[in-house]
Amino acid sequence: MTGSPASMTATGGAYRPVHPAPKETRPLVTTAIDDATDIGRRLSAGDERALADAYRAWSSLVYSLALRSLGDASDAEDVTQKVFVSAWQGREKYDPERAAVPAWLVGITRNTIADTHAARARERAIADQVSAVSLDDPYPAAEAGLAERLLIADELAKLEPEPQAVVRLAFFDDLTHTQIAERLNMPIGTVKSHIKRSLTRLRSRLEVSHGAAL
């Protein structure tokens, strides 16, 4: 005889299984909505665990949107991190009764992606100016934009050896970030950081120069 007394019942001297009554279950969609509402309320109240729950639930969504738009895994990771930092910093302005957490995060993601595209455009503009300068011969014949080119050449010459090597390979030898990382035996994240910091420094110098010329 198999089964336990709790799971069997006698009928005419024989035993037959007794199946427990099915448990009441909620639809998955309703459960997901309830979970999102709960996370939203806790997040707006400043519960750090709610931020962790939100990250586990929707970081893949944020990352996918960023990767699709930017086409770069590293940039998509940066956007994902920035989105959840922004969500935490802006939690007091978030109203969970007006917008579900996923929709709110998607809005932050779109703004962060737009900021990243704008930053890329600024970096490309500076990169084009950098590419027009030779560190070996920074004093070209007189022409339009000469002062700006001299300024860029001077600023590039002030870079430390490692970032200067990265800039040379990126803009004068036209190597990709991956190729530079392999050439210099350097993490690709470090390559990107050197380029970003160098271009930011150059942009600041150019903005100061343009302001002084007005």
pLDDT tens over the chain, length 214 residues: 444 444 444 445 444 444 445 555 444 444 456 688 899 999 999 999 999 999 999 999 999 999 999 998 888 998 999 999 999 999 999 998 898 999 999 999 999 999 989 887 877 776 666 655 554 444 444 443 555 566 667 777 777 888 888 888 887 777 888 888 899 999 988 988 888 888 877 777 666 655 544 4
User: How crowded is residue 79: how many other Cβ atoms within 10 Å of its Cβ?
Assistant: 23
pLDDT tens profile 47-70: 999 999 999 999 999 999 999 999
Q: Indicate the average pLDDT of the chain.
A: 76
Residue 54 and residue 87 in contact, taking contact as beta carbons nearer than 8 Å: yes
Token output for 100: 């579900």
CA-closest candidate to residue 17, choices 28, 6, 33, 26:
6
Please, where in the chain does CATH 1.10.1740.10 lie?
28-127
- The Cβ of residue 5 has, within 10 Å, a number of other Cβ atoms equal to 8
The CATH fold assigned to 137-213 is Arc Repressor Mutant, subunit A (1.10.10)
Determine the Cα–Cα distance for residues 105 and 115; give it in Å rounded to an integer: 15
Q: How far apart are CA 23 and CA 72, in angstroms?
A: 47
Domain with CATH 1.10.10.10 in the chain: 137-213
Please tell me the predicted confidence (pLDDT) of residue 213.
47
Class of domain 28-127: mainly alpha
CB atoms closer than 10 angstroms to residue 125: 13
Q: Which helix or strand (DSSP H or E) is residue 204 part of?
A: helix 188-213
